[in-house]
A and B are shown apart, each in its own frame.
Chain A
């Protein structure tokens, strides 16, 4: 019974982490758009290359935030949460 419970916890944490990382789609598309537009801008005005690159990197970093939230949740779900829950379960049973 305990094994089953631990198995369910571990499996659900892994599933949750996988589902959380679906959020990676958003920043991927967003950053792709940003870089595409930056390329267009550099193609149009090659002399403004450094400024466009700086602004693009900043924009990318900000657009990345939602993906990073998901990543942190996924990392917590994989490395932190199962240990805590399993410990709680074992303590409550004994």
Chain B
């Protein structure tokens, strides 16, 4: 009985640590970030600038919020996997197993068996991206509507793509730019660079457009309700009654649907690009050649 009680206390602590970062984010926003005047899209608010001598690094709302999301996801994982045992199926354990199985199924379906180790990375990208975008549901600044965050992830994917292209040898990698004819090399270089740029802009643009449209609609409804209901006496005339309802409907599309869809698309594109960058046949041929060489030299 006593053991069960401590078990519960740990659960409560872990679960509260999932939601505490969000509350901390709300508190930070209420305390430090000034309220926008009218329609104003200014990007992330800079909390303070860290002076490092050679460079000054601004610590922005986007960075703080993405760290809050990371902490939240970390404790969510701890909560889901805490007290996991073989043979015992609690609700949590089933949820965790379902998530892992789904992710591994997605990987093996889209990337093949060779990339089965990619499941944690793809799951991390997906969850981080989805929860970052969903921060806007709490009225917080979604980190993904800052181009720096999305561009950082896209650069990570670009490095992975280049790594898997390099696996077939640096010579083959350089040769691939001159395919199918050497005349097309500049275009190939541009399309190589366009991959991370388009990934970053796609994610950033979708989330930012949602934020902008929501801000425009909210401001428009405020103006409209002032014009229509401004005659109401006293404080009653200042309350924007028309803002009730419609922004919530928009929020279902722009915040919920779009966020989750963009996270899925980002993860999906990561999988497809990385899997497409790896040429298994050339790789295995090269490996075979290498092992043959080493055998002849060794013998």
The residues of A with any CB-CB pair to B shorter than 8 Å are 54, 57-58, 61-62, 64-65, 68-69, 71-72, 75, 79
B201: chain A residues within 8 A (beta carbon): 65, 68-69, 72
Residue of A with least CB distance to B212: A75
Interface: B208 (CB within 8 A): yes
Interface: B205 (CB within 8 A): yes
B198: chain A residues within 8 A (beta carbon): 65
B204: chain A residues within 8 A (beta carbon): 72
Residue of B with least CB distance to A79: B41
B264: chain A residues within 8 A (beta carbon): 57
Per the bound structure, the CA–CA distance linking A68 and B202 in Å amounts to 6
Cross-interface CB contact of B265 among A58, A71, A72, cutoff 8 Å: A58
Cross-interface CB contact of A65 among B41, B202, B208, B209, cutoff 8 Å: B202
In the assembled complex, the CB of B270 is this many whole angstroms from the nearest CB of chain A, namely 12
Q: Secondary structure of the B side of the interface?
A: helix
Per the bound structure, the CA–CA distance linking A26 and B265 in Å amounts to 20
Per the bound structure, the CA–CA distance linking A58 and B208 in Å amounts to 20
B205: chain A residues within 8 A (beta carbon): 68-69, 71-72
Cross-interface CB contact of B208 among A57, A62, A75, cutoff 8 Å: A75
In the assembled complex, the CB of B203 is this many whole angstroms from the nearest CB of chain A, namely 9
Per the bound structure, the CA–CA distance linking A65 and B269 in Å amounts to 13
Per the bound structure, the CA–CA distance linking A68 and B258 in Å amounts to 14
Per the bound structure, the CA–CA distance linking A39 and B139 in Å amounts to 36
A69: chain B residues within 8 A (beta carbon): 201, 205
State which residues 191-222 of B face A: CB under 8 Å: 198, 201-202, 204-206, 208-209, 212
State which residues 256-273 of B face A: CB under 8 Å: 261-262, 264-265, 268-269, 272
Residue of A with least CB distance to B266: A61
The digit string for B240-276, where 1 denotes a CB below 8 A from any CB of A, is 0000000000000000000001101100110010000
Question: Which 5 residue pairs across A and B have the least CB separation, nearest first?
Answer: A68-B205, A61-B265, A79-B41, A65-B198, A72-B205
The digit string for B38-53, where 1 denotes a CB below 8 A from any CB of A, is 0011100000000000
In the assembled complex, the CB of B216 is this many whole angstroms from the nearest CB of chain A, namely 10
Per the bound structure, the CA–CA distance linking A79 and B209 in Å amounts to 13
Residue of B with least CB distance to A55: B268
Q: Contact check, A71 vs B209: say whether CB atoms are below 8 A apart.
A: yes
* 18 further interface pairs, Cβ-Cβ under 8 Å (given A58-B268, A68-B201, A79-B42): A57-B264, A58-B265, A58-B272, A62-B269, A64-B202, A64-B206, A65-B198, A65-B201, A68-B202, A68-B206, A68-B209, A71-B209, A72-B201, A72-B208, A75-B41, A75-B208, A75-B209, A75-B212
Residue of B with least CB distance to A78: B41
In the assembled complex, the CB of B97 is this many whole angstroms from the nearest CB of chain A, namely 21
20 contacts between A and B (CB under 8 A): A57-B261, A57-B264, A58-B265, A58-B268, A58-B269, A58-B272, A61-B261, A61-B262, A61-B265, A64-B202, A65-B198, A65-B202, A68-B202, A68-B205, A68-B209, A69-B201, A71-B205, A72-B204, A72-B208, A79-B40
In the assembled complex, the CB of A87 is this many whole angstroms from the nearest CB of chain B, namely 14
Per the bound structure, the CA–CA distance linking A57 and B264 in Å amounts to 10
B269: chain A residues within 8 A (beta carbon): 58, 61-62
Per the bound structure, the CA–CA distance linking A57 and B209 in Å amounts to 18
A68: chain B residues within 8 A (beta carbon): 201-202, 205-206, 209
